[in-house]
Amino acid sequence: MSKIVQFSTIGALMAGYFRGEYDASALKHPDAFGLGCSQGINGELTIFQGKVWEATAGEAPHLLRQEMLPFLQVTEFVPERTASVVNIDQHNAEQHLNQFIPLQNIFLAVCIEATFDHLVIRRPQPASDIPRDINDFARTQQEDTLNNINGYLIGFWTPVLFGRISVPGFHFHFIDEKRNNSGHVLEFSAKKAILKYQEKQTIEVTNPGSAEYKNMTIDLSSLDKSIEHVEK
């Protein structure tokens, strides 16, 4: 699987379509790598070394049991390049990668392994506790700042051209070495890091199949703002 396999779109998710339809048990490949969210956006998912970790506010990260997922982006990660880099953060990671490959028009799977001196991650409240509307979801998330933490940023670079399919720019989730901390990444910095990437020429997007999805109206005029607001 050199392609990115994606279920639903960031546009549909941000427009409020959270119903789980993709079977997580399909993610059995030992190199499975990616991110997503669980049913009702109960948690942020990090898929690393073939395991699916769920991060929900107030709970330790745990392996996801068999479940249907509303959004997922997964691939097999076989890095084409592994480089040592210094002083990397969310602002300059694009420049770091650009030294190796011009990335403005392509997809990449990216892993950054480091002891992060600063990391801000975010996790949603349990879906059962909060009536879900995308604004409630965004407002009630738990943010944690971590220092000197060893772990992995797992994710994708998406060109702006595809910014309603996937989060434009970087979308990273984090899992630490000890599997005690995980979530969607808002900020990071590391003095030294191992940067790995693989170009992905193909992205295969499967839309939800329900009548509810087919009939939903997505307000494109506010969508880009929601993606920026909720995912960045």
Site of interaction with Zn ion (CB under 5 A): 184
User: Contact, 61 vs 142, CB < 8 A?
Assistant: no
Neighbours of 179 (CB within 10 A): 16
Q: In 68-134, where do the E strands start and end?
A: 68-69, 71-76, 81-89, 107-116, 118-123
Strand partners, 5: 74, 204
Return the structure tokens found at 111: 């892993």
Neighbours of 213 (CB within 10 A): 16
Return the structure tokens found at 124: 């949603």
Nearest to Zn ion of 45, 193 (CB atom): 45
Nearest to Zn ion of 103, 153 (CB atom): 153
Least distance from Zn ion to the Cβ atom of residue 151, Å: 15
Least distance from Zn ion to the Cβ atom of residue 64, Å: 15
Least distance from Zn ion to the Cβ atom of residue 84, Å: 26
Least distance from Zn ion to the Cβ atom of residue 53, Å: 13
Nearest to Zn ion of 173, 200 (CB atom): 173
Nearest to Zn ion of 132, 184 (CB atom): 184
